[in-house]
Amino acid sequence: MAEVIDISLHRTALGVVDELLDKRGLAFFLKRAGSLPFAIDDRRVAVAVELASRRIGRRPVEEARESSHRAVRRRLISLVAEAMVHVGF
């Protein structure tokens, strides 16, 4: 079965993430407690995708939401990895 991708949702979700990164920083998307110091909080990722779906003004299909969720996670993972390398982790 083909993957459903909503380009407007992707673009808006990544824009929301950029806004949140500017306002709150990368730590906003990281879990506060736990054994892993750099674990991404999926609830915050879901909030970003939900904000994006509200901004585009319609309810996207679940497969498109999941695809956008994965895209946001990939972006955040790359930013976390870049930050880890930058501090010499």
Per-residue pLDDT for 11 more than 90? yes
Domain that holds residue 51: 7-87
Specify the higher pLDDT residue, 87 or 48. 48
60 domain residue, yes or no: yes
2 domain residue, yes or no: no
Distance CA 22, CA 84 (A): 18
1 domain residue, yes or no: no
If one counts the domains in the chain, the total is 1
Per-residue pLDDT for 3 more than 80? no
Mean pLDDT of the chain: 89
Structure tokens given for 61: 């299909």
pTM, 2 dp: 0.86
Distance from the Cα of residue 19 to its chain's centroid: 11
